[in-house]
Amino acid sequence: MTNFIIRRLIQNFITLIALSFICFSILALMPGDPVDLMMSANPKITTDDVARLKALYGLDQPIYMRYYNWMAQVVQGDLGYSRTYKVPVTEIIGPRLLNTFFLLTGALLLAIIVAIPLGVVAAVKSGSKLDYYINLMAFAGISIPSFWLALILIIVFSLNLGWFPAGGTETIGVNLTGFEYFLDRLKYMMLPILSLTIIQMGIFARYARSAMLETLKADYVRTARSKGISRIPVIMKHAFRNALIPIVTVIAINFSFIFSGAIITETIFSYQGVGKLVYDAILANDFNVAMVSFMISVGMVLFMSLVADLLYGFLDPRISYN
């Protein structure tokens, strides 16, 4: 077990390094750099100044040299300075990360809590009207583009009904503490979470349903019934425990989709998370911020797949990591 985790962590580390190079190159290949932006903002700048600035920031060097320089700094614990926020990257990334963490956890939990039971019910009652409606909702959820859904949610729940704010992270200018602070944050998170989860709900419900349909037909379920065990324990203990294995896979895979969905969602709702940070950083050529955000998202996805692998070992005794 420990060996497995160590091996996987090493693999993840190598993946992370490789991806950091790819991300860095893509950013560097984008047209324009910070100095070009400065040029457009300051008409009095001369070509000599531009050349001097580019040399100063190392922007005249080839990509691999720039990557090497960036890496050398990162290894020393220096993530660089944000060009747009005028503070070290470490200072802005912390709170942003926490905001996104709340959003993603909320979205993931909500999707699991709602969708898995729906999928199970649909499978148990397969062919019934209920199954039909759950399927219909699931497909609708999967097909809705999240940015469109986000706009509709804003129109309905904040413009028309006025229940939730249309954007932001927390009420500005009031000092709330404890539970009131939590409620305030929750109010701002509701719509982003909803627009993030509806697609995931559809996907999870579909997978839970098909996994359950499979296990409900299994021989061991019939064996359990032949022992005289009642319906609900047969479904929950015998069928659902086996169905959990594919369900966990889908949840882990989808985590990366939720994360990329967060970029769009956070931008639409001006929610101050890493997703919005990435978006702003790319638009503003703020390389240092963008790179760190990339690395964090890649790291999270890698971490989730490790968690999923460990969960398999826990859920399925046939899988052993020794």
Partner 1 sequence: MSETILEVKNLRTTFRTKAGDVHAVDGISYSITKGRTLGIVGESGCGKSVTSFSIMGLLENPGEITGGEILFKGEKISHLKDEQLLKYRGQHMAMIFQEPMTALNPVIRIGEQINEQFIKHRPHLSSKEVKEHSIEMLNLVGIPSPEERYKSYPHQLSGGMRQRALIAMALSCDPEFLIADEPTTALDVTIQAQILDLIQDLQNRLGMAVQFITHDLGVISEVADDILVMYAGRVCEQGSADEIFKKPSHPYTHALLNSIPKLGHKVHRLPTIEGTVPSIANRPSGCQFKNRCEFATDICGEKQPEFTEISSTHKWLATTLGARDR
Phi, psi (degrees; rounded to nearest 5) at 81: -120, 135
Choosing from 153, 238, 261, 266, the residue that interacts with partner 1 (CB under 8 A) is 238
Phi, psi (degrees; rounded to nearest 5) at 88: -60, 145
DSSP 159: I
Choosing from 22, 105, 225, 283, the residue that interacts with partner 1 (CB under 8 A) is 225
**DSSP codes joined into one string, 24-65:** HHHHHHSS--HHHHHHHH-TT--HHHHHHHHHHHTTTS-HHH
**DSSP codes joined into one string, 254-287:** HHHHHHHHHHHHHHHTT--SHHHHHHHHHHTT-H
| Among the residue ranges 24-32, 88-96, 141-149, 230-238, the one whose residues contact partner 1 (CB under 8 A) | 230-238
Choosing from 5, 222, 283, 307, the residue that interacts with partner 1 (CB under 8 A) is 222
| Among the residue ranges 81-89, 234-242, 255-263, 282-290, the one whose residues contact partner 1 (CB under 8 A) | 234-242
218 binds partner 1 (CB under 8 A): yes
Choosing from 82, 135, 242, 267, the residue that interacts with partner 1 (CB under 8 A) is 242
227 binds partner 1 (CB under 8 A): yes
230 binds partner 1 (CB under 8 A): yes
CB of 240 to partner 1, least distance (A): 10
Contact letters (x/-) for partner 1, 72-111, by CB under 8 A? ----------------------------------------
- Give the span between the Cα atoms of 263 and 266, in whole angstroms: 5
CA distances from 21 to 83, 115, 251, 258, 261 (A): 21, 38, 28, 24, 23
Choosing from 159, 175, 318, 322, the residue that interacts with partner 1 (CB under 8 A) is 318
Binding site for partner 1 (CB under 8 A): 127, 217-220, 222-231, 237-238, 241-242, 315-318
